[in-house]
Homo-oligomer: A and B are copies of this chain.
Amino acid sequence: MDKKYMERYWHTSSHILAQAVKKLFPDVKLGTGPAIENGFYYDFYREEPFTPDDIEKISKGMEDIIRQNLPVEKISVSKDEAKKILKDEPFKLEILEGIKEETVTFYRQGDFIDLCEGPHISSTGEIKHFKILSTAASYWRGDETRESMQRIYGVSFPEKAQLDQYLKFLEEAKERDHRTLGPKLDLFSIHPEFGSGLIYWHPKGSIVRKIIEDFWKDVHIKNGYQIVYTPHIADLSLWERSGHTGFYKENMFTPMEMGNKVFQLKPMNCPFHIIIYNTKLRSYRDFPIRWAELGTVYRYEKQGVLHGLLRVRGFTQDDAHIFCTEEQIEEEVVKVLDLVSFFLGKFGFTEYKTFLSTRPEKYVGSPDGWEKATIALENALKKKEMGYEIDPGEGVFYGPKIDIKIRDCLKREWQCSTIQVDFNIPERFALKYTDKDGSFKTPILIHRAILGSIERFFGVLIEHYKGNFPFWLAPEQIRVLPISERHLPYAEKIGGLLEPHFRIQIDTRNEKINRKIRDAEEEKVPYIIIIGDKEEEKNTIALRKHGEGMLGTFTTDEIIRKLKECQ
């Protein structure tokens, strides 16, 4: 599918949706209706929510409009003229106010006209197969202090097979949705009434997080990193010094005024590591210095963009800062890339897309420094034989960077690792080191994260594994099921033997064995041990694997040996 064509295709589909809604419900006020990554939506303001019946009618209305094969026309008018056209559309008027140009464009199809920059396809009849997918509440401009809107999502394709395939993908994605699986498997919860975008990790989710974090720390220490811990707040002056109050203010929570001091919740860990750096005079002998922190940061995202674990307001970065000389950049980046493939591979992600972003128009630092750093990043990518695309001019203002997106089993892409050279902070905090010749120089600072955010990565993992965590990560690895109450003592004996090695539970409930098996399967416990008369007699246990069924009868020693290999 041609991406640009589909964007126009979906944009026109959203106008058809709006046209159908306005015909059926003339009092509805229009918000905006863009094409999105997959399909389109339109936001409407209406007191009563759309019922399934309404949606049915809207769908029929869209079919009519498509059948009429109305041409889609672009019209340019003056702002004054536009105001007249939009006199009954307060949200559109608000958009109009924000436009600086004196002439604006509308798109018209039949009796429907919409303030719109376009582009669109040429007629409504081009839309062959569409489906309204869902409705959701949203806020006007994603701002929770503004009007609550009703968003209708849809998708459309030229071929029926494309629509069918997409609906199948949606079905599969729905089954994997971490927002459903998370609470169902008792992994985490979110409580918008006590603050949206904040994650409560339940015991089962927390044990997975702990395993990931312990593993992360061990591997980092073995690879020459040192762990640090820093506060979650600092005096506002730190953020003025770092420049965040200037270029990052929109994403920061409001400051806390305490008497004559003002504290700021941290959106980033960097300035804290910088302060530690500056507590001592560093030498070239100390380089590379690699400081890693699982640092929880808080960024204010608009209500409308929050999405389960994937887009949150509080998240834990697997952050590290590397201080080194210019000559060391390449080798350090190679080492980070090694860590990236090691970690991502460990979780089963072997396909990824890599982007190298180069100098944008506005930047700090010297062109020469940028040039050298960009070449070092590129050489590292070449050395690792990693395919990559160059995003020219897409670097952050403070330095060039490498971004890595992973692909999950549904081929969806997730931004994950990042490696960024920073020419801004070393200057702002006057970082120095003494070089071989005794002179003071400014070190190179590299920011890097591998998993990106623990919360986000956990969300991706849940979907990637469909909740079936591999044995080493499973919150509960083995459940022991006594067939009846008289088998409980033997079950507890077996449990006692397994417990030092694995995370186990014994199902002591007075339930039928089939019910116990079904529950364990639903809770996605990787292995089930069933214990009845036969097992007790022979001093063995029957082992069942999640999703695969019975594996056979084993001694406890055999099981311990076998499963320890999976850890």
Q: Are B183 and A232 touching (Cβ within 8 A)?
A: no
Given A189-B279, A263-B195, A275-B200: A314 in contact with B233 (beta carbons within 8 A): yes
C-alpha spacing A206/B228, complex, angstroms: 5
Give the complex CA separation of A200 and B199 in angstroms. Answer: 25
Instruction: Name the B residues within 8 Å of A237 (CB-CB).
Output: 193-194
Contact with B along A113-148 (1 / 0, CB 8 A): 000000000000000000000000000000111000
CB pair A195–B256 under 8 Å, yes or no, is: no
A-B contact pairs, 19 of them (CB 8 A): A144-B259, A144-B261, A145-B259, A189-B275, A194-B234, A194-B235, A194-B237, A200-B228, A200-B231, A200-B272, A200-B275, A200-B279, A203-B228, A206-B228, A232-B296, A232-B298, A254-B256, A258-B300, A265-B265
Closest 4 CB pairs of A and B: A203-B226, A201-B229, A145-B259, A198-B231
Contact in complex: B256, A253 (CB < 8 Å) = yes
Q: Mark A234-267, 1 if CB is under 8 A from B, else 0.
A: 1101100000000000000111111111010100
- Across the interface, A233 reaches (CB within 8 A) one of B198, B259, B260, B291, namely B198
Q: Which residues from chain B contact A253 at a C-beta distance below 8 Å?
A: 233, 256, 258, 263
Residue of B nearest to A231 (CB): B198
> What residue of chain B has the Cβ atom nearest to residue A261's Cβ?
B144
8 A Cβ contacts from A171-204 to B: 183, 186, 189, 191, 193-196, 198-203
Within 204-240 of A, Cβ neighbours of B (below 8 Å) are at 206-207, 209-210, 214, 217, 226-235, 237-238
Tell me which of A229, A233, A265 has the highest count of chain B C-beta atoms within 10 A of its own C-beta: A229
Task: Give bound CA distance, A217 to B291, whole Å.
Answer: 23
Contact status B256-A227, CB under 8 Å: no
Q: Cβ of B227 and Cβ of A207 under 8 Å apart?
A: yes
Chain B residues near A195 (CB-CB < 8 A): 231, 233-235, 238, 261, 263
Q: Is the CB of A260 within 8 A of B144?
A: yes
Task: Report the minimal beta-carbon distance from A187 to chain B, rounded to whole angstroms.
Answer: 11
> Contact: B275 with A194, CB < 8 Å?
yes
Taking CB atoms, residues of chain B closer than 8 Å to A509 are 285
| Beta-carbon contact of B276 and A194 below 8 Å | no
Q: A308: shortest Cβ distance to chain B, in Å?
A: 15
B234 A143 Cβ-Cβ under 8 A = no
How far apart sit A280 and B189, CA to CA, in the bound complex (Å)?
11
Which residues from chain B contact A189 at a C-beta distance below 8 Å?
275-276, 279
CB proximity of A452 to chain B, nearest CB, Å: 17
Q: Nearest chain-B residue to A238 (Cβ)?
A: B194
Give the complex CA separation of A279 and B184 in angstroms: 11
CB-CB under 8 A from A226, the residues of chain B are 203, 206-207
Residues on B with beta carbons closer than 8 Å to the beta carbon of A254 = 256-258
Q: Please state if A227 and B200 are interface contacts (CB–CB under 8 Å).
A: no
- Given known pairs A143-B259, A145-B259, A210-B227, the reply for A202 and B276 (CB within 8 Å) is yes
Q: Contact at A234–B198, with CB atoms within 8 Å?
A: yes
Q: Which residues of B contact A291 (CB under 8 A)?
A: 203
- Shortest beta-carbon distance, A430 to chain B, in Å? 14
The smallest beta-carbon distance between A295 and chain B, in angstroms, is 11
Q: How far is the CA of A251 from the CA of B286 in the complex (A)?
A: 41
Q: How far is the CB of A287 from chain B (nearest CB, A)?
A: 14
Contacts of A279 in B (CB 8 A): 183, 186, 189, 200, 202
**Bound Cα distance A261, B198 (Å):** 14
How far, in Å, is A401 (CB) from chain B's closest CB?
A: 25
Contact A314 B231, beta carbon cutoff 8 Å: yes
Q: How far is the CA of A356 from the CA of B275 in the complex (A)?
A: 43
Query: How far is the CB of A181 from the nearest CB of chain B, in Å?
Result: 15
| Closest partner residue, chain B, to A186 (CB atom) | B280
Q: Which residue of B lies closest to A197 (CB)?
A: B231
Please give the distance in Å from A507's CB to the nearest CB on chain B.
11
Are the C-beta atoms of B206 and A210 separated by less than 8 Å?
no
Smallest CB–CB gap between A144 and chain B, Å?
6
A209–B228 alpha-carbon span in the complex (Å): 9
Q: Is the CB of B193 within 8 A of A235?
A: yes
* Alpha-carbon distance A214/B210, docked complex (angstroms): 10
Closest approach, in angstroms, between the C-beta of A223 and any C-beta of chain B? 13
Q: Mark A75-97, 1 if CB is under 8 A from B, else 0.
A: 00000000000000000000000
- By beta carbon, the residue of chain B nearest A204 is B226
Other 11 A-B pairs with CB < 8 A, given A145-B259, A199-B229: A145-B260, A191-B275, A195-B238, A196-B261, A199-B231, A203-B291, A206-B226, A209-B229, A233-B265, A253-B258, A255-B256
Residues of B within 8 A of A272 (CB): 200
A186 contacts across to B, CB distance below 8 A = 279-280
Query: How many angstroms from the CA of A272 to the CA of B314 in the assembled complex?
Result: 14
Query: Per-residue 0/1 for A521-542: is the Cβ within 8 Å of any B Cβ (1 yes, 0 no)?
Result: 0000000000000000000000
B-side contacts of A144, CB under 8 Å = 259-261
Q: Once the chains bind, are B201 and A210 in contact (CB under 8 Å)?
A: no
Alpha-carbon separation in the docked complex, A296 to B266 (Å): 14
Say yes or no: B214 contacts A228, CB within 8 Å.
no
What residues of B have a CB within 8 angstroms of the CB of A214 in the complex?
Answer: 214
